[in-house]
Amino acid sequence: MRIISTFSAPGGLDYGLVKAGHTIAWACDKDGDATQTYAKNVSNDIVTGDIRKVSAEDIPEADVVVGGFPCLGFTIANLQRKIEDERNCLFLQLLRIVEAKKPKYVLMENVPGILSLGKGLIVEEILKLFQDIGYDIYYEILNAADYGVPEVRHRVLFFGKRKNLEKHVVPPQPTHVVNPVMRLDGVMLKKWVTVREAIGDLPEPNHNIPNHQGTKHRVKITGYIGNRPTAWDKPSPTITGRGSRTGGPVIIPHPNLHRRLTVRECARLQSFPDDFIFYGSISAQYAQVGNAVPPLMAYHLGKALCEVADETPRPFKAEEWDLPWLKRETHVPVIQ
């Protein structure tokens, strides 16, 4: 299907959708570094600009509108979050585009904190506004680790369909769990991918590996976010973006506790392939990685979109992803 992508960032979501067989019709983000990354790795069909100033007439027709609208006002990491935060209103731009283009489906992503903001009033309003323009929307919290991503990353996925369509998008079934187990349908789930499997083969930071540089901010274990030990034999904690881009302790420590993770290490933990190159300053690269939807999880979302439209998804080919754990047969995600 053809995709309109809003708040596209570096394209983690869109990369996975393309791998599943979808096509980018149009994409937009106001961050020039992110759009450069997107254009080099995902599609040239992206514009740099403020979506509030984009006319719907300038956007082509498509089957699906997607977007991870900015979550800085919603996240529990923001201790001063408010319903009135202007960033919380940016989803209205996505709503505007959906109303104008009338796609078959809508796919939105955000942090779980959005569910409790205003004691649930924000989410109620989002669902009502989409109802008013002819869309049924529901949501589920998914964990990226359940789809072969070496990172525990809980996100709210909003799945929507135009009311005249019969079938809802069905959230993808997990392919990985904490411990291997067989699903009721007979599919064997794999064990969560660990930090060691994801980055254990990388040498110390150097310029021979793209984006394998990092912050010089020292490691100080305090128990707070960004300053907790990182375990080798578990998925990593959530990789976050730094909105200020001024550096700081949000970048989690390397398991050796001697330094913080490089951009490339964070990218691997987000399931970005090694041939996916990030542009801009190191701080900008960190922000892009942390703000993205993990591409491997996005592939499964793209597969779910194919299935609701009775289309055959593009087969998963581990060799195309340039990620070490996918090259090991025991950790190739189960693709039905």
Residues known to be catalytic: 71
CA distance 25 to 160: 19
CA neighbor of 193 nearest in space, from 256, 283, 269: 269
Contacts of 151 (CB under 8 A, 6+ apart): 144, 145, 235, 236, 237, 238, 239, 269, 270, 271, 294
CA distance 307 to 6: 22
Helices and strands per DSSP (H, E), number in the chain: 8, 10
Contacts of 125 (CB under 8 A, 6+ apart): none
CA distance 83 to 92: 14
CA-based Rg of the chain, rounded to a whole angstrom?
19
CA distance 110 to 318: 27
Query: What are the angstrom distances between the C-alpha of 171 and each of 74, 141, 197, 233, 264?
Result: 23, 10, 27, 28, 29
CA neighbor of 61 nearest in space, from 13, 16, 26: 26
Strand blocks (E) in the chain? 2-6, 23-29, 46-48, 64-67, 105-110, 135-143, 154-162, 176-177, 181-182, 188-191
Task: With H, G, I as helix, E, B as strand and everything else as coil, classify residue 109.
Answer: strand
CA distance 114 to 83: 10
Joined together, the tokens standing for residue 13 give 């979501």
CA distance 199 to 203: 9
Angle (CA) 277-238-123 rounded to 5° is 105
